């Protein structure tokens, strides 16, 4: 099904300029788009492709309209507008309601009639699954788990016992929610397991990427608040709290009992040690290591940027000498003062 340029503009509260020759039925990159495709310009690095684009239309900001050779939709936030149009043109495939013959559902589980349960899924005793949910192939829903309306477990997702999942949550393949946290006590050199007695509580509209793990709390729950977006392969340890509408990129590790605020943006491969507090509206750049609490909003970074290997070796040697150099400087300052 295709749309006119005006129909798409109306759908995203944009302003249409010109009229597309063909119905628009797909999205594409600005340099590969062709007839029937719409693209967007949000990154200045792609501005060089604008003059030669063969797209049916471009989503862009007002300041770029003059240079656009094809019809356009003008908006304040082109990337957001693109996301909305891409969703409109690519609606999710609706799963088939009902239970697959190979699924295993406990007799006392409460599964709404509209739920789709795919092949080899396991739903254990005491589970409650609300209307419109999808339980994908190979998923395991442990005992006494609660799942809200229209939530999707894509495939091979594991929800351990007593986990609570809100409405419209998306859990991608391989996600594990509610495994035991890393609780161990040392008994004269031998590690003894500490029971993990809390659970995990995930609020509405959360999305969690493939192979990400969220551990259950030691005594109280691990909490993921409304609208949080987690990328692939993230580790969220026991008793972590992640505030509303925070987004975290892949391969980040968050140690236990850390409290991350609302509306934060955390880059990929960030390491956050335990028992810290991170304020609302904090941004942390990729590969940073967070070793102390962050009490004020803002942009934070750590680490050494990539450089030629020989320079890195010389700078590393200097880094090891910093303490001695600081002592010598203080000694010289005292001599000058005298």
Position 304 scores a pLDDT of 82
Q: pLDDT by residue (tens digit) across 5-21?
A: 999 999 999 999 999 89
Domain 98-300: top CATH class: mainly beta
- Average pLDDT value for the chain: 96
Active site residue 54: no
Cα dihedral 29, 30, 33, 35 in deg (nearest 10) = 140
Q: pLDDT by residue (tens digit) across 270-316?
A: 999 999 999 999 999 999 999 999 999 999 999 888 899 999 999 98
Give me the catalytic one of 238, 259, 263, 313: 238
Q: Domain 5-89: what homologous superfamily?
A: MurE/MurF, N-terminal domain (3.40.1390.10)
Distance CA 55, CA 311 (A): 45
- Report the 3 state secondary structure along 171-215: ECCCCEEEECCCCEEEECCEEEECCCCCCEEECCCCEECCCCEEE
- Tokens representing 277 are 């507090």
Could you give the 3-state DSSP secondary structure of residue 38?
Answer: strand
- Each domain of the chain, given as residue ranges in start order, spans 5-89, 98-300, 308-338
Distances (CA, A) of 101 to 121, 127, 215: 10, 19, 31
How are beta strands 122-123 and 207-208 bridged, if at all?
unpaired
Q: pLDDT by residue (tens digit) across 199-229?
A: 999 999 999 999 999 999 999 999 999 999 9
Sheet hosting strand 15-17, strand order edge to edge:
15-17, 72-74, 57-60, 37-40, 26-27
């Amino acid at each position: 099904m295709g749309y006119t340029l005006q129909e798409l503009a109306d759908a995203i509260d944009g302003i249409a300029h010109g009229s597309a020759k063909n119905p628009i039925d797909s999205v594409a990159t600005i340099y590969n788009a062709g007839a029937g495709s719409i693209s967007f310009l949000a990154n200045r690095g792609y501005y060089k492709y604008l003059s030669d684009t063969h797209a049916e239309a471009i989503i862009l900001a007002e300041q770029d309209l003059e240079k656009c050779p094809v019809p356009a939709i003008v908006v304040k936030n082109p990337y957001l507008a693109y996301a909305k149009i891409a969703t409109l043109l690519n609606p999710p495939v609706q799963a088939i309601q009902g239970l697959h013959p190979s699924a295993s559902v406990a007799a006392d589980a409460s599964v709404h009639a509209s739920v789709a349960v795919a092949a080899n899924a396991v739903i254990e005793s005491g589970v409650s699954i609300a209307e419109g949910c999808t339980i994908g192939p190979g998923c395991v829903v442990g005992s006494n788990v609660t799942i809200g309306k229209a939530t999707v477990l894509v495939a091979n997702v594991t929800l351990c016992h007593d986990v609570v999942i809100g409405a419209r949550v998306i859990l991608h393949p391989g996600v594990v929610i509610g495994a035991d946290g890393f609780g161990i006590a040392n008994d004269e050199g031998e590690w003894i397991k500490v029971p993990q007695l809390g659970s995990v509580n995930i609020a509405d509209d959360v999305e969690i990427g493939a192979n990400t793990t969220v551990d259950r709390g030691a005594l109280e729950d691990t909490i993921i608040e409304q609208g949080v977006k987690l990328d692939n392969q993230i580790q969220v340890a026991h008793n972590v709290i992640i505030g509303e509408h925070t987004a975290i990129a892949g391969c980040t590790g968050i140690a236990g009992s850390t409290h991350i605020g609302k509306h934060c943006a955390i880059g990929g491969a960030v390491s956050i040690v335990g028992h810290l507090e991170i304020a609302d509206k904090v941004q942390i750049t990729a590969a940073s290591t967070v070793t102390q609490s962050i009490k004020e909003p803002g942009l934070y970074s750590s680490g050494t940027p990539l450089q030629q290997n020989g320079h890195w070796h010389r700078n590393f040697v200097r880094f090891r000498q910093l303490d001695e150099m600081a002592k010598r400087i203080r000694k010289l300052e005292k001599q000058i003062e005298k």
